[in-house]
Amino acid sequence: MAKQASNLDKRDGLQRIDHTNLIAVFERLQLTDLSGIAEASARRLSKAGVRTPVQFLRASVEQLGLAGMHAEVAKFWLRRLRGFEGGGFEGVARKSYSHSHV
């Protein structure tokens, strides 16, 4: 959300996004304005009925699953949209390492 806030008002450089204005800010944006959502992701979300950032914010994990998101990724996005930054999404843990020398 910090990246979104810095891009909202270039004149002043930064706008605060919090629980009091989150919906109003999201209503001014397109899905592809969200950092991490490119055209392909927006198309998949659209097929699941998510066409705006507000709909993305209000979507369920199950609805995001229809867009091809795994449950953990969907939960990550839903938290991120509410301002909780948890770092990057880490994929499935490796089970083995090939060519490792001990």
Q: Residue with structure tokens 């304005």? A: 33
Please indicate, yes or no, whether the overall pTM of this predicted structure exceeds 0.75.
no
Q: Where are the domains of the chain?
A: 2-81
Whether residue 93 is predicted with pLDDT greater than 80 in this model: the reply is no
pLDDT at 100: 56
Question: Highest mean pLDDT: which of 6-10, 37-41, 80-84?
Answer: 37-41
Cα(77)–Cα(86) distance, rounded to whole angstroms? 10
At 62-71, the pLDDT tens digits run 999 999 999 9
Name the DSSP class of 93: P
